[in-house]
Structure formats: structure tokens, C-alpha cells
Amino acid sequence: MADYEKQTLPVEKTSVNSYDQEENFTSDAEVQTTQLNFIDRIAHKLNAETKGIELVSDEEKTDTSFWNLATMWLSANLVIATFSLGALGITVFGLAFGQAVLVIIFFSILGAFSVGFFSIFGSALGLRQMLLSKFLIGDYATRLFAAINVVACVGWGAVNIMSSAQLLHIVNNGALPPWAGCLILVVCTVLVTFFGYHVIHIYEKWSWIPNLIIFIIIIVRFAMTGKFNSADFVGGRTTAGSVLSFGGTVFGFATGWSTYAADYVVYHPRNTNPYKVFFSVFLGLLLPLWFTLILGAACATGIANDPEWTAMYDEYSVGGLVYSILVTKSLHGFGQFCCVVLALSTVANNVPNMYSMALSAQTVWSQFGKIPRVFWTLCGNAATLAICIPAYYKFESVMENFMNLISYYLAIYESMMYSSHFIWYKGKMSAYDYERWNDKQAYPLGLAGVFGFACGVAGVVLGMDQTWYAGVIGRQIGEFGGDIGFELGFGFAFIGFNVARYFEKKYIR
């Protein structure tokens, strides 16, 4: 674990920043600390959170709202990105609507479970997700996952913004250029993530409401078109491959929050009921996933029934589909307003990415831990903007394929985290010496975690089925292949990690 040495600056008395329900971040407790650098001083004056990756103390754990936990993920997933993913079950994987719904229901449950489970650790231990990871999979392995997490957060942020910028561009006959749409979305994300935990929860508490209203309008307008087509179920190896591939995509989207789940529960008291934490997060994530994914799949069935919809989808992807439902021969000006609101929903989806990206960056290297969270948040948003604008014009499909490729790390991560907690920590929270969060001797070195990661990658390579590459096993499933990279990655990592952990614990620590 990184040693967060004090900076060689004059020592002064300042208050520790903490989450304080609906008021501010400033605790009454006064401690000796190093002088805040100019970025933290600015953030401090603006009442923003300046706390980073370090342990959240009992005095700071003052949030008791379970509604905060539920709406955090409700807002982050009741967005156009989720709608777009649901449409893929019909347009890309060729499933009947009923088949797509069954896949969505089952794989969403699998994905959301881990997010709810790891959230429990945030309240019980006061550890951020990457800090928790050091106790479970070790120092070196956590640094590796933290680095991947940084890339994933920035990359998915860019992909999400490109999709919404495209929808903004369609409105008003292309009056808003795509680069301007990207800039607007990034600036909105900065305004929320800059202030940290408290403002993020306030924003996510309410941002789902306009999105839900727009989606209800989409349901009404789509039903009025009469273009819904459920199609008949079709069996066979090819369909099985499509089910596995779409299921892997849904699982990856749902469980993508697991690498920073605990970050949004750390200010809840340690004695918070773990079952209430789990179900608040689990249902807060699962219900919007079901609703929005299924709606996206339903609307996508209408593409084949209307040449104009087909043309709009081919040119503008899901943004064109939404525009066709809400604007063309529909609500016109008001429909365009709805499109703008829906495009802005991406902010709610990107806020967790950018906040946790900063915490992951602080974990990668000890020197990075000295750099304020606010600075990393600004850097992450700047990198997202720098990527999404050129990617929109030049390599959008390449960017999306790359992000799909690295998403497999989630299954590897969860496999080792679960096995470490239940096998090596005996499933006991009392086994974690969380007060020694800054002591390298308190957790494994991480060699077993690195080996488990390598084994998991081998499993992924065998089972994956992506645009760029299909594994030797994945390509055998049906005519177009089937993706079992998540499943094999999970299994291979589980075996590799636990075998190596036995020797690591015996001979090292």
C-alpha cells in the first residue's frame, strides 16, 4: 500500500473534510495536517470534498440515507446508454424480443449482485473499493486493476458522451456540432464530480426523474406507432451463441460498477444493516436496468418495420431511433426537447466514472496518492474530452470495440475478490484490520493476484467473441460464435489465484 507521506509544507490546523448528511463536508474535529495545496484550498473554500483514497473515520460516517444508495444507481442507469444496450439484443445479436427480455432479466441479476455485495464493505470498513481490494487481492494486483480502472472510466465516459453528442447533433437539423455537444456534457460532469461525494448523491437523488418522464413518453409514442414486433423464438446453436454474447454484454454493463461500489457507501456508519445496504444498492441498480434495457429492446423491434427508422438507425445509431420515435411525425419541437434531456442523462452515468477514476488513480502509485482527488477528477474529464472529440469523427467504432475488449477484467476481479473474502478471510468482516490501511504488512503482496489475473486473461482469450478476435472456444458456439469470455475468465482466475495464494500466504504473507 502506498505510504502517504506528509508534504514538506508548514503545518497548520485545518478541519477534516467529511460527509455531513445534507449540510457540508466539514467535521467539527480538528486535527494536525499538512497545509492544503492550492487545488485543495480552492476546493475547501468551495465546500467540496477534499478527502481521497484514505480511510473514512467513524467521526466522518454520518450519512444514514438508504435512499441515497438506491438513487445513486437508479439515476446512473436510467439513461440513454442503457437504452442503447438493450437495443443491441435485437439489432446486433438478432434475438426475438422475448429472448432478449429473458437474457436481460437473468444476466442483470448476476451483474447487479456484485455491486450490492461490495457496497456492504464501504459502510462496514470505511474503505474505498480500491483500498478494500488491497486487503483481498494484494498490493501489486490492486495497482494493476486500478490502472485498468482508470482507462475503463475514461474510455467508457468517452463512449457514452459520443453517443449523446450524436443525439444532440441530430436535434435542430445539426445546429449543434458534435464537438460542442461533447464539451457541454463534459463540463456538466465536471460541475458535479468536482464537489465530490455529497453533491454527487444530491444530483443522483433527483436526476432520474426527468429521464423517467422521457422514457414514459417514449413508451406512449412507440405504442401509438404500432411498430412493435415480438417475433418468434428460434432455437439452435447460433441462437445459443447470441444469447451468451448478449448476456455477456448485459452482465458487463451491470457489473461494471463493482470496481467502485464501496466508494459510495463509505460515509455510512459501520453498524449500518448490511442487508439494507445490499438491497438498497441491488434493487436501485437492477430495476432501472430491467426497465431501460427492455424498453430499448422493444423499441428496436420497430426498426425493421419502417424504412425511415432503418435509415435513421443506420446513420445515427440509437440516437436516430429515439429521434424517430419522439420527433419525426410525432412530437416535433417538444420531441426535440425530450431528446436534449435524454442526451444530458449521460451526465448521471458518467459522474460515478469520473469520481472513482480519481480514487483509482491515487491507488496506482504512492506519489499519485499525494495529488488531490479534485485534480485527478479534472484530469479525467479533460482526458475524456480529448478522446471523445477526435474519436467521434475518426475512430468511434474502434473506441467502442476496445472498451468492449477490456471489460472482461471485471469477471477476473470479482472472482478473486469473492474467493479471497470467503476462503482466506473466512467471510468475516472482523478479519480485516482496516485501521492499518496504510501499512503494507496488513495485506498480501499481490503476487497471487497478478498470477490469478494472468490466468483469467488466458480464459478470456479462449472464450471471447469480439469484432477484433474470437477465441478458439468462443468461435465454436454457433454460426457466428458465442462469447463465454466472462465465464472462463472467472473460472480460470479463481483457480489460479487460490492456488497461488496458498503459497504466497505460506512463504510471504
pLDDT at 173: 82
CATH number for 473: 1.10.4160.10
In which residue ranges of the chain is pLDDT below 50? 1-35
Show the domain range for 272.
Answer: 11-507
Considering the domain boundaries, does residue 102 fall inside one?
A: yes
For residue 270, the 8-state DSSP code is T
Considering the domain boundaries, does residue 3 fall inside one?
A: no
Q: Is 414 exposed, middle or buried (0-12, 13-18, 19+ CB in 10 A)?
A: buried
In angstroms, the CA 362 to CA 358 distance is 6
Considering the domain boundaries, does residue 1 fall inside one?
A: no
Kindly report, residue by residue over 84-136, the tens digit of the pLDDT. 999 999 998 989 999 999 999 999 999 999 999 999 999 999 999 999 999 99
pLDDT at 332: 85
Considering the domain boundaries, does residue 445 fall inside one?
A: yes
Considering the domain boundaries, does residue 4 fall inside one?
A: no
Set of cell numbers at residue 141: 494486483
Q: Are 429 and 125 in contact (CB under 8 A)?
A: yes
pLDDT at 17: 40
Q: Looking up cell 510471504, which residue turns up?
A: 508
Considering the domain boundaries, does residue 486 fall inside one?
A: yes
**Alpha helices (runs of H) in 24-96, residue ranges in sequence order:** 38-45, 66-77, 80-91
Considering the domain boundaries, does residue 6 fall inside one?
A: no
In angstroms, the CA 409 to CA 206 distance is 32
Kindly report, residue by residue over 355-391, the tens digit of the pLDDT. 999 999 999 998 888 888 889 999 999 999 999 998 8
In angstroms, the CA 192 to CA 201 distance is 10
Domain count across the chain: 1
Q: Which helix (H) or strand (E) holds 17?
A: strand 11-20
Considering the domain boundaries, does residue 216 fall inside one?
A: yes
